Amino acid sequence: MVTFLPSRPGRLADVPSFDRTIGGAESNVACALAAAGHRVSWVSRVGADGFGDHLTGAIAAYGVDTSGVRRDPDRPTGIYFRTATDRATDAHEVAYYRAGSAASAMAPGNPPRDDLWAGRVLHLSGITAALSDGCLALMRELTARAPGRPLVSFDVNHRPGLWRKPSDARVLLELARGADLVLVGEDEAAQAWDLHGADAIRAALPEPETVVVKRGAAGATLYTREPAAAGRGAAGGDTVTSVPAPRVEVVAPVGAGDAFAAGFLSATLRGLPAAARLRHGHLMAAAALTVPGDLGAPASRAEADRLAALDDTAWGTLRLGPGWTAATEKEARTP
């Protein structure tokens, strides 16, 4: 979507002007992964309009391949407006204008499966499922286990404002169970599924090999199913890894979840161990948290690796503020 950010805090009714930028869960992840040095394609639909031109051009500028983006001559590019306040507070407002958008016209076969199965990882978001019946059917198709599919990563991304009634969001649990890797916030699992606590979430998602439960400032917990022992058949239990989040001077909270997903996926693609994957997720999230928009320039790979390799004591005293990705000793204060 094209995103409009408020020029100052306040209600949407009171904000006098907005700055145009880009947004959308999947494109945010794509841009962050490309900025981290990965080959990434973004597959979607946008209108054959000026906002569609802006969106595809801005995303391509991050190094993302947008050749799989289709232009719809009959439907507009989706847009949304938001306030500057935290999404978790009652003061936060979001105005979505996505009904009848080009993206809402996606359905099985549109985009083509060849475009979607071309990479090592196919990253999906629960937001897409809420856009239309066709989008939900597409998501059900893509999360159905089938020979030859890539690793399917699914970020639940529960957005209550997009569902007709609260109970509709239960379908996100069904979709998550079909994925290989699931990212879900503890708060959204409670709201969407009435599941409370990381262990309860994992118990409700036994099929995915990997489940990441994001716990806000408290950190994140990773459940990784042990492979079956030779000659034993069924897989073993989980390895559980928890990593606290570093302390961050937050400028704007929107986009942090997408950035975490990108950092975690980047480290997964690189074959890094469990704790490092969570730390890279936290570091990418911190890059987004310390800028006004959805996307923050990540630290260099070398700097992110250095910080992710800190011992537990040093990691626990890490403080990250605006500009920290410049990686000066003063901005990323470590002992």
Partners of 154 in the β-ladder = 124, 182
Nearest Cα residue to 19 out of 8, 27, 31, 35: 8
Catalytic residue (one of 72, 180, 258, 294): 258
User: φ, ψ for residue 195 (rounded to 5)?
Assistant: -105, 135
Helices (H), the chain: 25-35, 50-60, 113-116, 126-129, 133-142, 171-177, 186-193, 198-204, 256-269, 274-289, 301-308, 312-316
Q: How far is CA 324 from the centre of its chain?
A: 21
Instruction: Find the angle CA(284)-CA(288)-CA(289) to the nearest 5 degrees.
Output: 110
The most distant pair of C-alpha atoms in the chain lies apart, rounded to whole Å, by 67
Which amino acid is it at 301? R
Q: Can 199 be counted among the known catalytic residues?
A: no
Angle between the N-to-C axes of helices 301-308 and 274-289, in degrees from 0 to 180, rounded to the nearest 10: 120
Nearest Cα residue to 212 out of 204, 221, 203: 221
Give the pairing of strands 332-333 and 94-97: unpaired
Whole-number Å distance between alpha carbons of 214 and 221: 7
CB atoms within 10 A of CB 324: 25
User: Catalytic residue numbers?
Assistant: 258
